[in-house]
Structure 1
Amino acid sequence: MLNWVWGLVKAIWQVWLALGPRWLRYSFLGIALITAGYLGLKAFLKPNLTIETVNQVHYLNKGWTDEQRERFYFTPQGTELLGLEYDWFINLELPLSKDLLTSPDNMRGWGFIVTPGQQPTTLNPGNLPVGLGRHIDPKSGKERLDLTCAMCHTGELHYQGNALRIDGGQAVQSISNAKRGEFITTLAASVVATLINPSKWSRFADRVAGQDPATRNQLRKQIWGFLGNIKQFVSGAGAPKLYPVEEGRGRTDAVGRIANVVFGYDLDEPANYRVANAPVSYPFLWDIWRFDWVQYTGFTNQAMARNVGESLGVLAPIKLVNDEGELLTSEEFGESVIDLAGMHCVEGTLRSLEPPRWPEAILGNIDTQLATQGKDLFLDQCQACHGPHKVQPYQWKVASKPGENPDKQIDVNWQWDMDGDITFVGQQAVREDWREVIWAMPWVKTSVIGTDPTAADNYMDHRYDGSKIIPGSAPVNAGDGLQILLNRLVPKLYQDNNIDKALIADYDGLNVPFRIANMRAYKPRPLHGVWATPPFLHNGSVPTLYHLLSPLRERPKQFYIGNREYNPDHLGFITEQRPGSFKHDTSIKGNGNQGHLFTDIDMPGRIGRLLSMQERAALLEYLKVMGNPEFSDKLGGDPLDWSKYTQAPQFGSEQQACLDSFNAAKNNPAKVH
């Protein structure tokens, strides 16, 4: 063996000497090393892109005009990507290419939604994908990239070159996935490459700063500062070690990330960082204005508090503590660009959104006889949990003076409670809910439903130190901690944004006070349009509705998600490995696909009897058109016909908020180069 190795070494040495003079040999070696390094770096930095072909877009939700859709897509909410300026973003190139980072093919490849042939508009001057808007930083006057509600809550299904747009649906972008080749890591690599590559820097600076040397130098300092922001965040709330379960595309551990950002990063309390290993799919939004409680665990009830909490998790900059990490008690507390008017506009816009309608001309005709059988099965097997359970409007009890806490919350802001539209029932002050009918969300304990409990367990069991906000207070879970913070922050934001007190009940959302409910449970929501929202269960662990209705042994243990090609037979995405997809391994904690089982075996998570193949087919056929008024008569009458539900209340303040947001964009045109 040693002789063979020695012979190989001598042969290589002879070849080396035969290459010519020393200078030539070392030149060859240098070229070879540089080439190998470049090819290795190119492979390392290669974007992980899905390859999709879209020829035409079909919008499946009724209830919106084109103007309302544009408003939902791009109205800012005051979030940022660590100070990334809009002009920088649209002018960055890929790390090893002159191609723009934000080209339609790249952004579509990372799962963002790009309409073929789209053109710049007032709200989208950079011609970016759905959900990437802009806002003006009031201090610097700079335009910042804004991650809007629509980025996570707009879906698209692809079928034979057709894009079926699902407004309010589940996105499949990879905004929080820090894996090599994904959007956020490629963005960071593009920034580094721009700073160290003279040619790339020159092109970037020409487009953004022009030829003035002082302006270009200032730009370089600002870009280095942005890179420092990334480094600081990645060493704290964004540290990969905190998110050991790959979120992939279309998922994020929303509550875990919000808690790490708010209680760790924003409060400057590193001891509050917790492992967030329970990624969930982005929930679909039509009809949520009807729900009494929202989020997968149903832990909160008020639109404004929910939206402000979400914006903090999506890195809305906020001043809560001073340089020493102490809670601010001055007027600076809560200083932020959080856009309450934008949130109010979007919330009102969503109330008129209908569920998506099955497109027979594209996905196939409905077998109405089979769907009628499925309707009867649904009413027998599914409606008890999924409802909708319609109840009369609540009279939400509120605190009317210090020390009152009628709903036994961990914290109450009685002044905010009383800023609503108040009536009295005897001596008890109440807020009368403005909805005609409410859909009551039942909670199903994790021990009963049997689905992966990690998200619910983390919510209930993770504790965060909130003593900076209330000195001496005991550690709390995420919901209670958000209540403690938001009870102080939201009224301050109302004050800073000059929201008239007469409008607070409207801005809060339908006169609902902010409350928290802590349950080790998940809520089963109504299922209108569910066929258009794969993958399924809260953690996206079941790829199709067919698999969800099947016994556990028939559910895939591993499958790939990321490509949006739709399977109209099984009602879900295709699951084979394709470029840009990630492997969902259900054996990993947080990824489990157990529970919600139709089986004759007495086991955890059993919710109904075993369904025959014919019964599964019937249920699938009905779920395609459940509640769709176009099919109600064909099904012999559908008790879930959504055209017969009460309509959403509309308020002038929502329209004014939308107009103000549009005018702000119009009066501050983007400096697009």
Structure 2
Amino acid sequence: MAVLMTLLSSKVGKIITTLILVILLMAGGVGYFAWYNFKREVPIVYKSAEDHFKYGSINSGGIPFFIWEVLPNLFAEHLPGPDGYQSLGFIWEEGKEMPVGVSKTIVGFPRQGSTCALCHSTTYRKSPQDLPTIVLGAPTQKFDSIANIRFLAACGNDPKFTPDNIIPAIEANHNLSWSDKLLYRYVIIPQTQKALMGLGLGFAWTNSRPDPGPGRIPSFNPVKFINFRLPLDDTIDNVDDPAVWNLRKHKGFYYHWDGLEGSLTETIIMGALAAGTKPDNVPLENLQRVEDFIRLIPPPDYPFDIDPVLAAQGKPIFDNKCASCHAFGGDRTGTVIPIQEVGTDDHRIEMWTQAAVDKYLAVGDGQEWDFTQVQKQNGYVAVALDGIWLRAPYLHNGSVPYLTDLLEVPEKRTTTFYRGYDVYNRDKVGFVSEGTTAETEGFKYDTHLDGNSNQGHLYGTELSSEDKQALVEYLKTL
């Protein structure tokens, strides 16, 4: 009997050991499967600093790349026009897989994300017949961030957002293995739909305010309300994206329209967080490459002929009337001018609260990086005017379509115009903002709406017509 029990115990032990090994192998296999398909990172490195700016990942998240690719074909009715993502203002270089400002990364599976170039690149054409010229570092005047968010949310809420519709669309472009199909059917597509529906809910507050339209963004309310969960208020923060070229000469300047930041490095991290980067996943090395690049991008040259005699006449006018606030080395250039003096629309200032400052100062705690120079100010930064010709429309909220308009008293400035058309008006210095084509391709901007005021900035409005003409000619040279 003792021998029998020993034999049985030995067999049971072997069976138990075998079962444990099988369970461990299965668990390891499941763990490896999960890691490979959801966590495995395959770095995509761009040797060119320019390509890195355009396409390099900032870990901004986004949605599965293969799904993102097929949405315009599957849900064209939710787009504002017939040209897919280009109808939302995305810029494509010929032969490229994705538009400027969109990254493709592999984290388990291909994922789409945003880069800094999405909001800081633009195009212009000298005439309607010309091909667009892409300028990096310029403020976008075509990309419509809120329209893009609403398109994605509409896709997620559409009954056609199903695996039976999406998987065949993906397979028209890519070969999916049987395991890929299972993952997309039961995990990736349902989770993406949930995320897109949540995106729409998160930005529902934008429906109660004027739309920003192309070339403008709600700057910090998304972070206030979505990331920081601060109470909803009625503030409006629609502003133009700024230019980000030549920043080596902006040392010591305040950043953002209201000077809420004093550090370029922190400003770039802040932009990455706004694009969707998680605080514990900030790619400091990648962002440093972006910073190094935008420090050196030269401001673009004016693409038309400049009258040298007239420009020479305009220089002393600039030196006397504008340089103290807008020339490199000016006493007030890069500083914050009180709102009581500049008199422009104050909604952007009212939006930025001390509560938001406090949240930002705490968000980097425990990370390799931190925010130390975030603050609340009460005015707008007097910006240097390098490349001013391509920064239209003007003022922080993009409420003045032409440089010539900006030298007029507000009562004589254009009150309704169209943004988003990239043909240039060399006479008025700005993008064509009126006429049938601009109306068809653009977004109606009404300066009577809250946050859209074109009042203030009366500097230079008292000049004679001749002096204004000479000043504008000189500004083209900056």
TM-score range, shorter chain: 0.7 to 0.9
- CA gap of 1:366–1:196, structure 2 versus 1, over 3 A, is same
Q: Which residue of 1 aligns with 2:258?
A: 297
Q: Which residue of 1 aligns with 2:293?
A: 349
Paired with 1:75 and 1:483, the residues of 2 have a C-alpha distance of: 27
Aligned counterpart for 2:123 among listed residues 151, 156, 180: 156
Q: Does 1:571 align with 2:433?
A: no
Q: Give the C-alpha shift of residue 287 in structure 1.
A: 2.8
Q: Give the C-alpha shift of residue 202 in structure 1.
A: 2.4
Contact 2:149–2:199 (CA under 8 A) maintained in structure 1: no
Amino acid at match of 2:276: L
Amino acid at match of 1:111: G
Paired with 2:200 and 2:140, the residues of 1 have a C-alpha distance of: 24
Paired with 2:74 and 2:82, the residues of 1 have a C-alpha distance of: 17
Paired with 1:155 and 1:298, the residues of 2 have a C-alpha distance of: 24
Amino acid at match of 2:466: Q
Q: Which residue of 1 aligns with 2:11?
A: none
Q: Which residue of 2 aligns with 1:177?
A: 146
Q: Does 1:309 align with 2:270?
A: yes
Amino acid at match of 2:125: H
Q: Which residue of 2 aligns with 1:133?
A: 103
Contact 1:166–1:532 (CA under 8 A) maintained in structure 2: no
Paired with 2:153 and 2:201, the residues of 1 have a C-alpha distance of: 14
Q: Which residue of 2 aligns with 1:223?
A: 189
Paired with 2:133 and 2:161, the residues of 1 have a C-alpha distance of: 40
Contact 2:394–2:406 (CA under 8 A) maintained in structure 1: yes
Q: Which residue of 2 aligns with 1:145?
A: 112
**Residues 93-112 of structure 1: per-residue CA shift (max 9 Å, x gap):** 42356x9x9x9943333222
**Residues 10-38 of structure 1: per-residue CA shift (max 9 Å, x gap):** xxxxxxxxxxxxxxxxxxxxxxxxxxxxx
**Residues 584-604 of structure 1: per-residue CA shift (max 9 Å, x gap):** 11111210000011xxxxxxx
Contact 2:394–2:402 (CA under 8 A) maintained in structure 1: yes
Aligned CA RMSD, in angstroms, stands at 2.9
Paired with 1:616 and 1:566, the residues of 2 have a C-alpha distance of: 20
Taking the TM superposition and a 5 Å limit, the aligned residue runs for 1:241-640 are 241=206, 244-264=209-229, 271-289=230-248, 290-292=250-252, 293-316=254-277, 318=278, 334-336=279-281, 338-359=282-303, 363=304, 365-389=305-329, 441-459=334-352, 462=353, 476-486=354-364, 488-489=365-366, 492-493=367-368, 514-576=372-434, 577-597=438-458, 607-608=459-460, 610-626=462-478
Contact 2:167–2:181 (CA under 8 A) maintained in structure 1: no
Q: Which residue of 2 aligns with 1:123?
A: none
Contact 1:209–1:215 (CA under 8 A) maintained in structure 2: no
Contact 1:388–1:525 (CA under 8 A) maintained in structure 2: no
**Residues 382-410 of structure 1: per-residue CA shift (max 9 Å, x gap):** 1121132369xxxxxxxxxxxxxxxxxxx
Contact 1:534–1:540 (CA under 8 A) maintained in structure 2: yes
How many correspondences in the alignment?
423
Contact 1:195–1:201 (CA under 8 A) maintained in structure 2: no
Q: Which residue of 2 aligns with 1:503?
A: none
Q: Does 1:72 align with 2:53?
A: yes
Q: Does 1:113 align with 2:115?
A: no
Amino acid at match of 2:95: Q
Contact 1:154–1:168 (CA under 8 A) maintained in structure 2: yes
Q: Give the C-alpha shift of residue 147 in structure 1.
A: 0.4
Q: Give the C-alpha shift of residue 194 in structure 1.
A: 5.0
Amino acid at match of 1:478: A
Amino acid at match of 1:620: V
Gaps of 5+ in 2: 1-46
Contact 2:247–2:296 (CA under 8 A) maintained in structure 1: no
- Any idea what SS the aligned residue of 1:159 has? coil
Paired with 2:91 and 2:383, the residues of 1 have a C-alpha distance of: 26
Amino acid at match of 2:169: R
Paired with 2:222 and 2:452, the residues of 1 have a C-alpha distance of: 17
- CA gap of 1:257–1:204, structure 2 versus 1, over 3 A, is same
Q: Give the C-alpha shift of residue 555 in structure 1.
A: 0.7
- Any idea what SS the aligned residue of 2:132 has? strand
Q: Does 1:210 align with 2:179?
A: no
Paired with 1:385 and 1:307, the residues of 2 have a C-alpha distance of: 24
Q: Give the C-alpha shift of residue 573 in structure 1.
A: 1.1
**Residues 407-444 of structure 1: per-residue CA shift (max 9 Å, x gap):** xxxxxxxxxxxxxxxxxxxxxxxxxxxxxxxx962211
- CA gap of 1:554–1:197, structure 2 versus 1, over 3 A, is farther
Aligned counterpart for 1:89 among listed residues 44, 64, 68: 68
**Residues 611-653 of structure 1: per-residue CA shift (max 9 Å, x gap):** 2221221111101113xxxxxxxxxxxxxxxxxxxxxxxxxxx
Q: Give the C-alpha shift of residue 581 in structure 1.
A: 1.6
- Any idea what SS the aligned residue of 2:60 has? coil
Q: Give the C-alpha shift of residue 132 in structure 1.
A: 0.5
> Which structure: greater helix fraction?
2
Contact 1:258–1:314 (CA under 8 A) maintained in structure 2: no
Paired with 2:72 and 2:386, the residues of 1 have a C-alpha distance of: 42
Q: Give the C-alpha shift of residue 296 in structure 1.
A: 0.5
Paired with 2:235 and 2:112, the residues of 1 have a C-alpha distance of: 26
- Any idea what SS the aligned residue of 1:155 has? strand
**Residues 60-96 of structure 1: per-residue CA shift (max 9 Å, x gap):** xxxxxx9332221112111123xx0122222434235
- Any idea what SS the aligned residue of 1:579 has? helix
Task: Give identity over the alignment, percent.
Answer: 26
- Any idea what SS the aligned residue of 1:301 has? coil
- Any idea what SS the aligned residue of 1:625 has? coil
- CA gap of 1:156–1:104, structure 2 versus 1, over 3 A, is farther
Q: What TM-score comes out, normalization by structure 1 length?
A: 0.58
- CA gap of 1:241–1:114, structure 2 versus 1, over 3 A, is closer
Paired with 2:335 and 2:302, the residues of 1 have a C-alpha distance of: 28
Q: Give the C-alpha shift of residue 551 in structure 1.
A: 1.8
Contact 2:417–2:446 (CA under 8 A) maintained in structure 1: yes
- Any idea what SS the aligned residue of 2:418 has? strand
Amino acid at match of 1:150: A
Amino acid at match of 2:343: G
- CA gap of 1:257–1:443, structure 2 versus 1, over 3 A, is same
Paired with 2:296 and 2:100, the residues of 1 have a C-alpha distance of: 19
Aligned counterpart for 2:200 among listed residues 226, 231, 234: 234
Q: Give the C-alpha shift of residue 133 in structure 1.
A: 0.9
Paired with 1:619 and 1:243, the residues of 2 have a C-alpha distance of: 40
- Any idea what SS the aligned residue of 2:439 has? coil
Paired with 1:591 and 1:300, the residues of 2 have a C-alpha distance of: 24
